[in-house]
């Protein structure tokens, strides 16, 4: 994601009605926040929000939480949500390194990771959102029947993720090395990065990982 300083983004996010400003206080209370008992799906590293805004519009019976580290990117999603006013979608400006602080056991039904930062240097492998370190965090708040769905066009990151998911004892499903020409293409919602990279001819890789029994 190219990061440009967007003047005023931080201030707007700090006061916006669709951004949750105190997510740690909602740990174990997200259903109260949404005011209903519906499933909760989370996208980590949602960028400008194209994917999660579309999903939230299509699935009003699911609650969506979009997490993004940088205000300068999140502001674009916030602007779109100001027009859409989807009642089942909120955003957090938050670093997923601390994700265990905001969700309680069995609180989340699904996690989407789309075109996550590859962190190509070996010494940064632990920062990858599909590393065993992160999978160990997700398992603490993901429902037993929930799952992580991951898309990327980065072959190295995808191979790494397949290994990590297996190493962590998760069950792999729906693995494809060419999502757009696979049996899983139907109903696929494209992210901003997915549009950009598939337009260049890059195949899109996808996996779904189910956590081991606890």
Catalytic center residues: 117
Q: Which stretch binds ligand SAM (CB under 6 A): 13-21, 25-33, 63-71, 201-209?
A: 63-71
By CB under 6 A, is residue 46 in contact with ligand SAM? yes
Rounded to whole angstroms, how far apart are CA atoms 102 and 10?
A: 21
d(CA 111, CA 114): 10
Q: Which residues of 82-109 are buried (b: 16+ CB within 10 A; e: fewer)?
A: eeeebebbbbbbbebeebeebbeeebbb
- Site stretch for ligand SAM (CB under 6 A), options 110-118, 135-143, 158-166, 204-212: 110-118
Per the CB < 8 A criterion, the answer to whether 113 and 148 are in contact is yes
CB-wise, 97 or 212, nearer to ligand SAM?
A: 97
Considering beta carbons, is residue 97 or 174 the nearer one to ligand SAM?
97
Is residue 170 at the binding interface for ligand SAM, with CB under 6 A as the rule?
no
- Among 20, 23, 41, 47, which residue interacts with ligand SAM (rule: CB under 6 A)? 47
- Applying the rule CB under 6 A, the residues between 76 and 95 that interact with ligand SAM are 95
**Residue numbers at the binding site for ligand SAM (CB under 6 A):** 1, 44-47, 67-70, 73, 95-97, 114-117, 191-194
């Amino acid at each position: 994601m190219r990061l440009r300083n967007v003047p005023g983004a931080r201030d707007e996010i700090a006061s916006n009605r669709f951004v949750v400003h105190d997510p740690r206080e909602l740990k174990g209370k997200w259903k109260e926040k949404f005011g209903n008992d519906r499933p909760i799906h989370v996208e980590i590293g949602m960028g400008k929000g194209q994917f999660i805004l579309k999903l939230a519009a299509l699935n009003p019976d699911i609650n969506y939480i979009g997490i993004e580290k940088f205000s300068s990117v999140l502001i674009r999603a916030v602007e779109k949500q100001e027009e859409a006013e989807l009642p089942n979608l909120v955003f957090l400006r938050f670093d997923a390194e601390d994700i265990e602080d905001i969700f309680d056991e069995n609180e989340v039904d699904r996690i989407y990771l789309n075109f996550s930062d590859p962190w190509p240097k070996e010494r940064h492998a632990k920062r990858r959102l599909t590393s065993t370190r992160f999978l160990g965090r997700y398992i603490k708040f993901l429902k037993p029947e929930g799952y992580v769905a991951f898309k990327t066009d980065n072959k190295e990151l995808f191979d790494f993720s397949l290994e990590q998911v297996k190493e962590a004892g998760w069950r792999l499903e729906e693995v494809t090395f060419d999502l757009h020409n696979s049996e899983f293409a139907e109903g696929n919602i494209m992210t901003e990065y997915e549009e950009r990279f598939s337009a260049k001819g890059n195949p899109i890789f996808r996996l779904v990982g189910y956590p081991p029994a606890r």
